[in-house]
Structure 1
Amino acid sequence: MQNLLTLLILTITGLSLKAQNQSSIPYKPNDSVMVTVIMRHIQENPVDSIQARVMKQKFYQKLDKSHTRIVSWNVVMGIGQIITLRFKPEYTREVNQVFESGAWGGFKTEFYPSYDFLPVYPVMLEKEKKQSK
């Protein structure tokens, strides 16, 4: 009976370890971080005055000269603009200063660390299909 119990415990432990290994999603190491910035319009100001302010503060030039790569930049109705940037971690302070000195006053900014889920999606879809069977 004790042998059967030991075998059962080892089997359950082995299955849970296998499940953990299968659920871990492989990733490629990268030397950069991705940050999504939500720049909310200050709605008391018309868009023309917002743009005039950030242009006077040279926001676009500062962002262009920073060590960032723009992954996406979208205007979202009712919210403002959403920019996703990629940069090396050592440039975090510089990127922050670009927004503090260039976008503040025209936008309220929010920063969120983010990652690209698109390469993970097919893996998750396949796992979901296998679970449905």
Structure 2
Amino acid sequence: MKTLLKPLLASVLLFSTLVAGGLHAQASTSGKPVAISADNAVLLTVFLKHDQSRNLNEIRTKLTEQELFKVFPPEGVEIVSWTIAMGIGHVIVLRFPASRLREVNLAIERSAWGPFRTEFFPTYDYMDIVAAEQSKVRKPAPAK
């Protein structure tokens, strides 16, 4: 049962992000890229999972042909982190206005599909909550 709920929850979260992004994009009529701000920014974690039927040279050749590093991420999209998880592949966290979700998705489809299987997860920053919880339970010991 849990294995069915996880993909369903991820799909619902991604769909809600897409809908919110689409609504926001329709509201913006200036045609100029929207700047990232606290009220419009989304974090998106992207997994680019290696196609293990190909060796590294084949993957790199395909990425060069598809111009991954030229088109992804689109200009103005912030890379929060880009790491490699051994045995999995690239784990990328991006920050951008919700209205640019379609553009980010298209950049991945055009440049990463083939060498990688992709997964996406809407993400949020939890550090403020962790810090607040830690400060509650890690009070300094009284002086002797």
TM-score, normalized by length of structure 2?
A: 0.65
Residue 35 in structure 1 maps to residue 44 in structure 2: yes
Where 1:96 maps in the other structure, the secondary structure is: helix
Partner residue of 2:75 out of 63, 66, 87: 66
The Cα shift of 1:120 comes to 1.9
Q: Unaligned 5+ residue runs, structure 1?
A: 1-27
RMSD of aligned residue pairs (Cα, Å): 1.8
Question: Could you tell me how far apart the structure 1 residues matched to 2:73 and 2:88 are?
Answer: 23
Where 2:127 maps in the other structure, the secondary structure is: coil
Q: Which of structures 1 and 2 has the bigger CA Rg?
A: 1
The Cα shift of 1:102 comes to 0.2
Name the counterpart of 1:105: 114
The Cα shift of 1:46 comes to 0.8
Q: Which 4+ stretches in 1 moved above 6 angstroms?
A: none
CA distance 1:54–1:111, shift in 2 (3 Å): same
CA-to-partner distance for each residue in 1:73-110, whole Å, 9 max, x for gaps? 00111000100001111110000000000000010000
The Cα shift of 1:52 comes to 1.4
Name the counterpart of 2:8: none
| AA in 2 matched with 1:53 | K
Q: How many residues align?
A: 103
Identity of aligned residues (%): 35
